[in-house]
Structure 1
Amino acid sequence: MDRCGHEQWKSNEEPLNFFGGIIADPMGFGKTLTMISLVAMDKEREELSNVNIDETEAHKPDVTATLVIIPPPLIGSWEEQLSDHVVEGQLVYRRHHGKNRIAGIQDLASVNIVLTTYHTVSADWKPGPGLAHSPIFAVRWKRLILDEAHFIRNGNSRMARAVCDLEAISRWAVTGTPIQNRLGDLASLLKFIRPYPYTDPKKFDADVSQPWKSGKDEEAVNRLKRLSACLLLRRPKGAIDLPARRDLQRPVCFSQEERETYERIRQQTTISIDEASGTDTARSRSLIYVNVLQRIESLRLFCNLGLHYRSKLSKPSSASTEPEQWSAKAQRMFSLQRQINLILCTQCSSALGLTDTFFDDASNHPESAQFTSCLQFTCSDCVSRRHQSGKAVTCGCKPPCPVAPVSTSAVDLEEVEDVVCPSGPPAFLSLPSKIEALLEDLKEAPGDVKWQVSIFYQNHLIRLIVTVN
């Protein structure tokens, strides 16, 4: 300890060589192209593969391929970038995903890039001697690249442990948000890229997290800045000349019939809100709040679907909160709540972001998240910790409200079922005004302009457009 109470340490052994880092550029800077350029640049270069390496890696054969780990929806994007920006035949790439899996090490002989997913790596991983059963764990890769690397921020998850067990000469973590909810998010990325001594998250906790928690803010921030300057690249937005963003709002007017129907739904919503403001108990407020959520969802659906919308909400939902009935409706209520409000865990205050739900996989969590009938959410990590300590998840109400498991995966976040789109809509029903306006804009756009349309109720809208047209 020095005179200020700071821990001092030294080692007579030279640290292991470290290659890689964290690319944390904002969206739009071309992080994917940066990584593709890196692979292309040193395709023929000899690596210092035997200089001061970890002894646990020495027995694994080296391959010259780069393993890229990405969320499933981004596989097509990577393949498109490789096709558009690399001279044909110069970089050979293939998938290790679904039915297109690598059978053995021999399949990597002529490949430069292997694209796989976090979930595939997690599924292939067997802790201990079984690691060699999967080809991706049986070799030492030339390079590992994690796209959307913040998905391993929970270092205790199976996904994070699997990814960190892969061996490579260099490691790159690519994410625009290296810290999402807590400083420990960065510790998980450091564990992956392996800069000594921060291969152990406890060292990061002692050097950065604990000073921050103990009120030594300036000391913690300065240490984090010094560490980030060595390991993390995040260029300011002014570093490249990006076109200015333009937000164009397109006003859309309802038809007379659409306006009348919308007003009826809006009046029902107003009545539900008035009822909620006049109740006293938390449980009663939560029950009415659930109905308000459904009414607001009805308004949103009607704006998209117009007269094709058929609501099942003419009567309020049952106010019963018996455990069996809450278990049946908890997922639906959680989905509605997530679409309207930011979801926060009542235990750790971490926010459930859109990317978390889009790429989440229930198999990655030992416990399911839980949601109470008074609309309190507990994340899967906190549920697991409470169960390990012998504590149940409760809301704090007296008596406790019913609680049920919910999935945070986009696969399980239900699309609202209050829509009845007939297989053959009546002839007098045309497209909703909002969809007509969108299609007009798409038809008038120049042929070389790319469009990305983001919609909530994708299945209903696509089915509607196909049947009407």
Structure 2
Amino acid sequence: MLVVQAGWVPGAGLALWAEGLEDLTGVLDGEPATLTMKLPGTTRGPVPPAELATTRAVKLRTYDVPALLVADGDALATLASADDAGGDEWLAGPSLRYLGVLAGFAFDLARRGRMLPQLVNEGGTPAARWRPVITGADAATYRDFAAGMPPVVRATGAGLARTLRDALNVLVDAAARTLMPERLLLGHRPGPKAPLPDRWISALTADDPALPGAKAEDVRDLGAALGDWMRAANEANGPVRVSFRLSEPPPGEDDWGLEFALQSAEDPNLYLRADEVWAGARFPGMPPRPDETLLAGLGRAVRLFPLLHAGLAEAEPTTMTLDTGEAHDFLRQAAPLLQAAGFGVLLPKWAGRKGVGLKLTTRSKGKSSGKALASSGFGLEEIVGFRLDLVIGDGVVSAEELAELARLKVPLVRVRGQWVELDDRQLKAALKAVGRRREGELTAGEVLQQVVDGGEEDLPLVEVDADGMLGDLISGQAAERLAPISTPPGFQGTLRPYQERGLSWLHFLARIGLGGILADDMGLGKTAQTISLLVQERADATPEPTLLICPMSLVSNWEKEVARFAPQIRTYVHHGASRNKEGIETADLVITTYGTAVRDLAILKAGKWERIVCDEAQAIKNSGTRQAQAVRAIPARTRIALTGTPVENHLAELWSIMDFCNPGLLGPAKRFRKRFQEPIEVRQDELAAEALKRATGPFVLRRLKTDKSIISDLPEKNEMKVWCTLTPEQATLYQAVVEDMMATIENSEGIERRGNVLAAMTKLKQVCNHPAHLLKDGSKLPARSGKLARLEELAAEIVEDGDKALVFTQYAEWGTLLQPYLAAHLDRPVLWLHGGLAKARRDALVEEFQTSDEPMLFLLSLKAAGTGLNLTAANHVVHFDRWWNPAVEDQATDRAYRIGQSRDVQVRKFICTGTLEEKIDAMIERKKALASSVVGTGEGWITDLGTDQLRELFELDLAGVR
């Protein structure tokens, strides 16, 4: 598999490259080119990212690199799916993922109207382009993108500022044209001799933005006016903006209302009607003279909506009235322009939605083919009657009514009391559908596939009305409607009511041959529900064995839980040097790891499996990885994915897990990306989100710990940050490390610089922990660390109250120093679990902690104990030093916050004030979405910051010293 990197070449656009670029021909679109770039490498050539850490003599060197140049118009679509693996062919590298996130930001700017149309010079020819307006919170995001840009993105030498500005300009322009594919003004397209403003407006949504042959003086005059508009927008797009709300006419009338208002640009819920503004009302952040702001904004809006002149005849304008034709013009033409110029626009909920769709109605017929499951009363081969109806708004329309609407050619109509927009494409698709088969019989499986397919692009499936078990399945209510299966005889425990419903759902899907995703929140008992399924089906029959694949850290947990709940289930762990085929052939349940599944694929493929269960199924979220491909290649009658996070970052992960559970059901990844991923992630398309929920709902069961209707006896989780001050010794060491490491960083480049930055971070975090952690001199621990002093106080309180606590650290060497010190200080047991322990010793520590009545601390290495352990004896969790990844911290916290926990869990995250710990925490809190997508799961992103930015990040604020 090729790892595809990306850069941005101002004036040329997106460039893609990988070692073995010729293998991407036909996979990625682009024109072949050769670029001169500065990349890390040796005298032999550039070094692939995966080999940088193991290659010697790597420096930043200049190379001629074969690349694919992606046209500006295609860059957005390419980057919108940049974080999705390209199957067996390619995998997105960090630089390509970065630009993919930037593309999402560009689309978000366009969707929110944070852009303006401009006239620009492109190679001596004027062109109509959209440009972003970056103010307020968007400016902070823009700075984050500048700080986080991987050096390879600007490897052509254009510099950070120019590269980012040019990339965002191109992506916003492409996003605007995607969001506004319709012409801004109706009528004939202006010809080459038409006035330049008319040609310019037309070119804003045309495939070709160029305006050749324009007179120089016309270009100068229009360009100057548009430049003034951009400058005014940057000035006007402050904390408050003018807003317009379009209201439908009352029943039987034709007068639409257009309300003027002032609205907070940062909090749209802060909204004042114009009449309230004139009456003197205010909200926080308003300018000194809001009435002047309102009038000035309305004056600017007239240029985009000339009819607004009629509403400004009064000295204190508040509203204006539109007829239906004018309202449609506002919806189609003025509203997009006003939004693009930074005005607020509030439209009816139906605005922008497809007016015509399909409604699928099915009714059980009471007869089934021989394959139907009589015992359950439902099977995928059951015959049902179906009918397809055309829907406009919320009502079904007949073929005659549709023909009349098409004849009238009215784009905005009221159908049975509801207003809808109709366009020619939808009407043509609907008229064509009238002639197709609209009723008859289908199997339940065929109906389910139609629901997943979701109709056509111009004629989507908008409603499904199915009765019986098929209706419950499609609506995602099967788990609630199925008769709960009580705790099976032979299961050594008692299932909670919601777990019994989960068992009935899993059993039902298995009987009809479908796979599912059990996505219950962590700690709700996915393991127990799965084991109860194995017990239940063995009470019905003697099926083939089940193959369970999980991370290595969970193998012992599964083995113990099966022995606890179902000792009659013959279990074989297929892992390690002693694994053999004989063990597989005699077991009811075979437990293996993802790594072993890859190595022993041929053996596992030869087995005859009732089902495959993937625990922590996010391990197969990337469909292009070897382990995801291996797991999908093992045949089984049904499949189950267990995960508390079916979507961690992108919808492509959901496709990958769903494709494991029900191969081919959601179609190929490319179609899924076009139909769901791009509309939802890039355009926040609500209809696409509803369609995806309808398509996947039958196969996903998700319950949350916070839902009291699911589990009312799980206590609260209280999270807090504990601010610690540095001692003078720590502060002196901290400043010395900053000065020493910054000098080293400034004199290095390429992979050497990245290594130096990571080394600096490690040293600074060690200083924040304790001077002895950095110095490694075996010196005493007391009274030298603000963090340790706070932990001593907290630990004493915890054991004095008779409680237990988990203390997580990412550094094993620090845990080794801390364990004996805390044990002596508290005169209580302090257990220490790290990656160097044998499995038997790990199990013994967990058993001691869970069963002992004595108050104690359990010190744990984050990597060794962040997942797979049940430690509900603790009701306190301390993150002593942090990996700055909320998902990792939550996983670790959930060792204590899960079923079996009877007390509130107190979670404390230690942070040293004035240090990089506080500054990085603030960065992540300010922009969590960007952090999760760009920052990733570790600290490597910081190595790409500039030297000045690193100095600012590392610099010590002396207010944090006690």
Q: TM-score, normalised by structure 2?
A: 0.29
Matched residue type, 1:228: T
CA–CA distance in 1 between the matches of 2:546 and 2:541? 14
Question: Is the alpha carbon distance of 1:439 and 1:65 closer, same or farther for their aligned partners in structure 2, counting shifts above 3 Å?
Answer: farther
2:595 is equivalent to residue 119 of structure 1: yes
Structure-2 residue corresponding to 1:19: 514
Q: Report Cα offsets for 1:256-312 as digits up to 9, x if no partner.
A: xxx232011233366589999xx9x9x9899989766644432321343443531xx
1:230 shift after superposition: 0.9
- Where 1:145 maps in the other structure, the secondary structure is strand
Structure-2 residue corresponding to 1:33: 528
Structure-1 residue corresponding to 2:579: 101
Residues 154 and 160 in structure 1, CA contact (< 8 A), matched pair in contact too: yes
2:628 is equivalent to residue 160 of structure 1: yes
**What is the aligned counterpart of 1:174 among 621, 628, 642?**
642
Question: Is the alpha carbon distance of 1:99 and 1:441 closer, same or farther for their aligned partners in structure 2, counting shifts above 3 Å?
Answer: farther
Structure-1 residue corresponding to 2:811: 457
**What is the aligned counterpart of 1:141 among 609, 614, 635?**
609
Structure-2 residue corresponding to 1:217: 685
Residues 192 and 199 in structure 1, CA contact (< 8 A), matched pair in contact too: no
1:96 shift after superposition: 0.7
1:204 shift after superposition: 3.1
Q: Report Cα offsets for 1:314-368 as digits up to 9, x if no partner.
A: xxxxxxxxxxxxxxxxxxxxxxxxxxxxxxxxxxxxxxxxxxxxxxxxxxxxxxx
CA–CA distance in 2 between the matches of 1:216 and 1:264? 49
Structure-1 residue corresponding to 2:568: 90
CA–CA distance in 1 between the matches of 2:701 and 2:680? 23
Residues 20 and 172 in structure 1, CA contact (< 8 A), matched pair in contact too: yes
CA–CA distance in 2 between the matches of 1:448 and 1:94? 40
Residues 207 and 223 in structure 1, CA contact (< 8 A), matched pair in contact too: no
CA–CA distance in 2 between the matches of 1:205 and 1:74? 33
1:435 shift after superposition: 5.5
Question: Is the alpha carbon distance of 1:227 and 1:249 closer, same or farther for their aligned partners in structure 2, counting shifts above 3 Å?
Answer: same
2:240 is equivalent to residue 240 of structure 1: no
Matched residue type, 1:155: S
Question: Is the alpha carbon distance of 1:223 and 1:100 closer, same or farther for their aligned partners in structure 2, counting shifts above 3 Å?
Answer: farther
CA–CA distance in 2 between the matches of 1:68 and 1:439? 43
Instruction: Report % sequence identity.
Output: 28
**What is the aligned counterpart of 2:560 among 60, 77, 80?**
80
- Where 1:240 maps in the other structure, the secondary structure is coil
Q: Report Cα offsets for 1:62-99 as digits up to 9, x if no partner.
A: x6321111111121222333344x15x32222211112
Aligned residues: 322
Residues 771 and 784 in structure 2, CA contact (< 8 A), matched pair in contact too: yes
Residues 64 and 112 in structure 1, CA contact (< 8 A), matched pair in contact too: yes
Residues 190 and 199 in structure 1, CA contact (< 8 A), matched pair in contact too: no
Structure-2 residue corresponding to 1:301: 766
1:465 shift after superposition: 4.0
Question: Is the alpha carbon distance of 1:288 and 1:97 closer, same or farther for their aligned partners in structure 2, counting shifts above 3 Å?
Answer: closer
Matched residue type, 2:590: V
Structure-1 residue corresponding to 2:666: 198
1:466 shift after superposition: 5.6
CA–CA distance in 2 between the matches of 1:171 and 1:467? 49
1:191 shift after superposition: 1.5
Structure-2 residue corresponding to 1:382: none
CA–CA distance in 2 between the matches of 1:266 and 1:114? 52
Residues 304 and 432 in structure 1, CA contact (< 8 A), matched pair in contact too: no
Q: Report Cα offsets for 1:121-174 as digits up to 9, x if no partner.
A: 11122xxxxx3xx1x211221221111112212212211111001111220111
| Map 1:182-331 → 2, pairs under 5 A | 182-194=650-662, 197-198=665-666, 200-205=668-673, 207-209=675-677, 211-212=679-680, 215=683, 217-236=685-704, 237-238=706-707, 239-241=710-712, 242-247=714-719, 259-268=727-736, 294-310=759-775
Q: Report Cα offsets for 1:399-421 as digits up to 9, x if no partner.
A: xxxxxxxxxxxxxxxxxxxxx35
1:251 shift after superposition: 7.3
CA–CA distance in 1 between the matches of 2:614 and 2:667? 17
CA–CA distance in 2 between the matches of 1:163 and 1:431? 53
Structure-1 residue corresponding to 2:908: none
Question: Is the alpha carbon distance of 1:232 and 1:440 closer, same or farther for their aligned partners in structure 2, counting shifts above 3 Å?
Answer: same
Larger radius of gyration: 2
CA–CA distance in 1 between the matches of 2:593 and 2:753? 42
**What is the aligned counterpart of 1:46 among 531, 541, 544?**
541
- Where 1:173 maps in the other structure, the secondary structure is strand
1:117 shift after superposition: 0.7
Matched residue type, 1:152: I
CA–CA distance in 2 between the matches of 1:289 and 1:33? 45
Matched residue type, 1:302: V
- Where 1:67 maps in the other structure, the secondary structure is strand
CA–CA distance in 2 between the matches of 1:249 and 1:183? 32
1:235 shift after superposition: 1.6
Residues 67 and 113 in structure 1, CA contact (< 8 A), matched pair in contact too: yes
CA–CA distance in 1 between the matches of 2:584 and 2:599? 20
Q: Report Cα offsets for 1:25-81 as digits up to 9, x if no partner.
A: 22222222222222222223237xxxxxxxxxxxxxxx6321111111121222333
Question: Is the alpha carbon distance of 1:118 and 1:432 closer, same or farther for their aligned partners in structure 2, counting shifts above 3 Å?
Answer: farther
Residues 265 and 298 in structure 1, CA contact (< 8 A), matched pair in contact too: no
Q: Report Cα offsets for 1:199-257 as digits up to 9, x if no partner.
A: 64345345423554785823321211101221111124312122111346677777xxx
CA–CA distance in 2 between the matches of 1:73 and 1:231? 27
Residues 191 and 201 in structure 1, CA contact (< 8 A), matched pair in contact too: no
Question: Is the alpha carbon distance of 1:451 and 1:70 closer, same or farther for their aligned partners in structure 2, counting shifts above 3 Å?
Answer: farther
Greater per-residue strand proportion:
2
CA–CA distance in 1 between the matches of 2:723 and 2:671? 55
Residues 730 and 784 in structure 2, CA contact (< 8 A), matched pair in contact too: no
Give the root-mean-square deviation of aligned CA atoms. 4.5
| Map 1:334-345 → 2, pairs under 5 A | none
Residues 272 and 288 in structure 1, CA contact (< 8 A), matched pair in contact too: no
Q: Relative to structure 2, which stretch is displaced further, 95-104 or 9-18? A: 9-18
Matched residue type, 2:568: Q
Q: TM-score, normalised by structure 1?
A: 0.56
CA–CA distance in 2 between the matches of 1:40 and 1:218? 41
CA–CA distance in 1 between the matches of 2:554 and 2:584? 23
* Consecutive unaligned residues in structure 2, runs of 5 or more: 1-356, 359-424, 450-511, 825-962
- Where 1:36 maps in the other structure, the secondary structure is helix
CA–CA distance in 1 between the matches of 2:632 and 2:751? 42
